[in-house]
């Protein structure tokens, strides 16, 4: 099938590459010259495990190409995916200017070139309910009618996006057009050969499904964080509580790990967008307002533990392991690390940090306000304590002798609970974590 992907950000690049891997001819369109130059030179522009291999293979096979020519893509493809940014506005709403601008451009191209072939325009960007109708209206402004609109939200986890796309739990497709649904089913059937469902619905339901799924997961994380804080107050252990909860098949084991709050490009933005949309429609989802508030507060919990331990931290120096909002990505959007580090700096402390992937990204958010180490152990030099913000696998079984010999104090503040409290006690560390008793 001939496809075009408009926008080569995280979703667009993964989607275009994976579609090409399944034998489709894919044209990716982007208007950023530097990014386009790298892509044409077969350079992957995002950090995503497993992507580079299939990216290079499909460029070599000439199934995957890149251009800034939207007209070329529209005229030469049947299915056009909109994978455009929808950043959060000041009021919490999703900013649709890029989506609607491109929709209008597509309508104009189809009109001016007298396009007779039927096109399918697919919203893969995360957009509020009603966006499909807005996109349709933009295209129809040009007197064009030979197209269908589809909502096809993505459910990719950063760090696992290639597997999630190639072996999805489910595909959600929304459209009022039976023929468009049939075409999408044809496109996606090779990805669900093991029997996972292609769930078909109307566009409004599809648009709500994406926000509903992400907001629910954000709520689970926030509930566990609140429960962890309660466990600390009553002497319970959140890890044991999690295991007791997770074995209940009605609840399940996933998204029950306590920590320092969720971040990234999806959960914070999607929660706020659903808060705003639901309020605008006169049916506010008040629970999500609480979720957002509690998550912001949770990002400061580890900082509060540091201050409670030291008192005045002016002049203290801290080592940080992990900057990305989660492991296996370089994404720093809404990362708890940024909040905590800024609080440390405001209090007069200094920071040396290490992250396996996110150092360059961090410089956009933190500039040169901190120093960056070449590896996790270099970050420990002259530090009064170690703070852990991201649960990268390489941090899980470190050389504790090297840690204790490099740190000024055997003191760790762990925002992701990656070490067992019994082991830390045995090794003689003072160890703060989330939802568990302090080890000293």
Residues classed as catalytic = 266
State how far the Cα of 257 lies from the Cα of 274, in Å rounded to an integer.
24
Query: Of 405, 369, 401, 407, nearest to 388 (Cα)?
Result: 407
State how far the Cα of 440 lies from the Cα of 424, in Å rounded to an integer.
9
State how far the Cα of 185 lies from the Cα of 198, in Å rounded to an integer.
7
| 262 close to 291: Cβ distance less than 8 angstroms | no
Chain centroid to CA 132 = 23
Pairing of strands 385-388, 171-174: unpaired
Q: Helix, strand, coil shares of the chain as percentages rounded to 5?
A: 45, 15, 40
According to DSSP, the residues that pair with 67 across neighbouring strands are 29
State how far the Cα of 208 lies from the Cα of 273, in Å rounded to an integer.
11
Q: Is the dihedral of CA 246, 251, 253, 258 positive or negative?
A: negative
258 backbone dihedrals φ, ψ, rounded to 5°? -75, 155
């Amino acid at each position: 099938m001939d496809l075009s992907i408009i926008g080569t950000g995280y979703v667009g690049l993964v989607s275009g590459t994976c579609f090409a891997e399944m034998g489709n001819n894919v044209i990716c369109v982007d208007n950023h010259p530097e990014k386009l130059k790298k892509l044409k030179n077969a350079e992957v522009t995002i950090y995503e495990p497993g992507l580079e291999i299939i990216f290079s293979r499909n460029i070599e096979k000439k199934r995957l190409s890149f251009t800034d020519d939207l007209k070329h893509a529209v005229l030469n493809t049947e299915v056009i995916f909109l994978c455009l940014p929808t950043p959060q506005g000041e009021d919490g709403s999703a900013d649709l200017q890029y989506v609607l601008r491109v929709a209008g451009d597509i309508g104009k191209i189809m009109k001016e070139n007298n396009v007779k072939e039927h096109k399918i325009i697919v919203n893969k960007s995360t957009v509020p309910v009603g966006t499909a109708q807005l996109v349709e209206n933009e295209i129809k402004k040009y007197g064009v009618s030979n197209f269908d609109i589809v909502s096809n939200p993505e459910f990719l986890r950063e760090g696992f996006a290639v597997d999630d796309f190639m072996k999805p739990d489910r595909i959600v497709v929304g459209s009022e057009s039976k023929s468009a649904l049939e075409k999408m089913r044809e496109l996606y059937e090779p990805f669900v050969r093991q029997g996972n469902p292609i769930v078909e619905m109307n566009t409004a339901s599809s648009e709500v499904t994406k926000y509903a799924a992400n907001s629910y997961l954000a709520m689970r994380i926030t509930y566990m964080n609140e429960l962890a804080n309660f466990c600390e107050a009553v002497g319970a252990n959140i890890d044991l509580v999690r295991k007791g909860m997770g074995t209940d098949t009605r609840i399940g084991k996933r998204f029950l790990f306590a920590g320092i709050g969720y971040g990234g490009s999806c959960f914070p933005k999607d929660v706020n967008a659903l808060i705003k949309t639901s309020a605008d429609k006169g049916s506010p989802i008040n629970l999500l307002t609480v979720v957002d508030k509690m998550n912001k507060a949770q990002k400061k919990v580890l900082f509060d533990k540091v201050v409670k331990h030291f008192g005045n931290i002016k002049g203290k120096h801290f080592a940080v392991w992990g900057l990305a909002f989660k492991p296996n990505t370089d994404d720093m959007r809404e990362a708890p690390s940024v909040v905590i580090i800024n609080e440390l700096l405001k209090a007069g402390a200094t920071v040396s940090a290490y992250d396996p992937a996110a150092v360059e990204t961090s410089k956009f958010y933190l500039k040169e306000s901190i120093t960056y180490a070449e590896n996790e152990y270099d970050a420990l030099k002259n530090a009064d304590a170690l703070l852990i913000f991201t649960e990268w696998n390489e941090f899980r079984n470190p050389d504790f002798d090297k840690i204790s010999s490099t740190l000024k104090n055997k003191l760790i503040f762990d925002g992701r609970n990656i070490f067992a409290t019994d082991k830390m006690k045995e090794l003689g560390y003072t160890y703060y974590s989330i939802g568990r008793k302090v080890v000293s």
